[in-house]
Amino acid sequence: MYGGGYIYDPENKNQAPIAEDPEKLAEFEAKIDNGEKIEPSDWMPYEYRRQLIRMIEQHAHSEIIGALPEGTWITRAPGFKRKMALIAKVQDEIGHGQLLYAAAETLGKPREQMLNDLLSGKSKYSNVFNYPAKTWADVAVIGFLIDAGAIINQLANSKGSYAPYGRALKRICAEESFHLKQGYEAFVYLATGTSTQRAMLQDAVNRWWPPIMHFFGPSDKISVHTEKLIRWQVKMDTNDNMRNDFLEQYVPKIWELDITLPDPNLRKNPETGRWEYTEPDWDEFFRVISGNGPCNKERLDVRRWVEESGRWVRQALFKPNEIYKVPLA
């Protein structure tokens, strides 16, 4: 039983009230306006719950799928220390997935169903993890720039109205800041290395830049959920503002290493103080998030294999007698 006596039932098409009780809705929105946090047992509108499940679940999937591109580099990372750091980072990402699935479960959707929806393609996960990590420099770019983007987004979301998500994000952000240091160190090492190392890094930056610009979500003009989510303080800033914060903080760090970015229009407008750039290719973005990116199939195939090969562990944990049939003494 979850908040407001709600039980998540995806087969029940009538579970969304046609209209929320106006008094309860006004009370709920006043709480949000007051900066109060919403706990799982509190009353909440159906749409608030639905949106949170969608967002937190996608975030959880992004963490466990996001572990895959870097995971393939653990055995190939240059040197023992980098291998150890990468193992720890990948392990953290899986842990973030666990925290986020637990936060989404408080809203009533069972974890098994979330994982089924990931595998069937019903639930999305972050666009960036559908691209290959071809060289060690890709790992440096992911660790530096994708973790940087994730921190900007998650720090904002951590101040949001749903308490369990905020609590999970505070812990996740603390760990992500170590990931960022690890990525930045690897990035600087390559940028200040031999001409071959610099060329490898430049190539990785060129390939990752478009997906990184997509990472913060479609431009505010076409984002569908932002307005409602900001009203309910689920999202604390718009996609374009978060993209701008990222450019503000990280483009100077890239340029000072003499690494270029593949956008001739990228510049900070001195009058507005905002960054200008070539409009990202949103057709490519929507193609990738709907399952047609370069690695979508490979990523989901790995997850499918994990689900299959780990089934006996789940059975041993939750239904041990069905496996072992150990007679009771």
* Contact with ligand FAQ (CB under 6 A) among 66, 160, 164, 210: 66
239 binds ligand FAQ (CB under 6 A): yes
114 binds ligand FAQ (CB under 6 A): no
Specify the 3-state DSSP secondary structure of 200.
helix
| CB distance 307 to 115 below 8 Å | yes
| 209 class by beta-carbon count within 10 Å (0-12 exposed, 13-18 middle, 19+ buried) | buried
CB of 149 to ligand FAQ, least distance (A): 7
289 binds ligand FAQ (CB under 6 A): yes
225 binds ligand FAQ (CB under 6 A): yes
Which residues, 6 or more positions from 252, have their beta carbon under 8 angstroms from its beta carbon?
none
CB of 184 to ligand FAQ, least distance (A): 13
In 10 A of CB 113, how many CB atoms?
Answer: 15
In 10 A of CB 136, how many CB atoms?
Answer: 18
Q: Which residue is nearest to ligand FAQ (CB)?
A: 66
CB of 243 to ligand FAQ, least distance (A): 10
* Contact with ligand FAQ (CB under 6 A) among 99, 114, 140, 142: 142
| CB distance 107 to 49 below 8 Å | yes
71 binds ligand FAQ (CB under 6 A): no
- Amino acid identity for residue 318 in this structure: F
* Contact with ligand FAQ (CB under 6 A) among 63, 105, 138, 240: 63
126 binds ligand FAQ (CB under 6 A): yes
Nearer Cβ to ligand FAQ (61/199):
61
CA distance readout (Å), 192 to 88, 187, 201, 319 = 25, 9, 10, 54
280 binds ligand FAQ (CB under 6 A): no
Binding segment (CB under 6 A) for ligand FAQ, from list 40-48, 109-117, 121-129, 310-318: 121-129
How many residues contact ligand FAQ, by CB under 6 A?
30
CB of 87 to ligand FAQ, least distance (A): 14
Q: Kindly state the greatest CA–CA separation across the chain.
A: 80
Residue 13 CA to its chain's centroid (Å): 28
Specify the 3-state DSSP secondary structure of 328.
coil
| CB distance 171 to 99 below 8 Å | yes
| 243's tokens | 């993209």
218 binds ligand FAQ (CB under 6 A): yes
| 164 class by beta-carbon count within 10 Å (0-12 exposed, 13-18 middle, 19+ buried) | buried
59 binds ligand FAQ (CB under 6 A): yes
CB of 247 to ligand FAQ, least distance (A): 16
CB of 134 to ligand FAQ, least distance (A): 16
Q: In the complex, which residues of this chain contact ligand FAQ (CB under 6 A)?
A: 54-55, 58-59, 62-63, 66, 93, 124, 126-127, 142, 146-147, 150, 153, 157, 214-218, 223-226, 229, 235, 239, 289
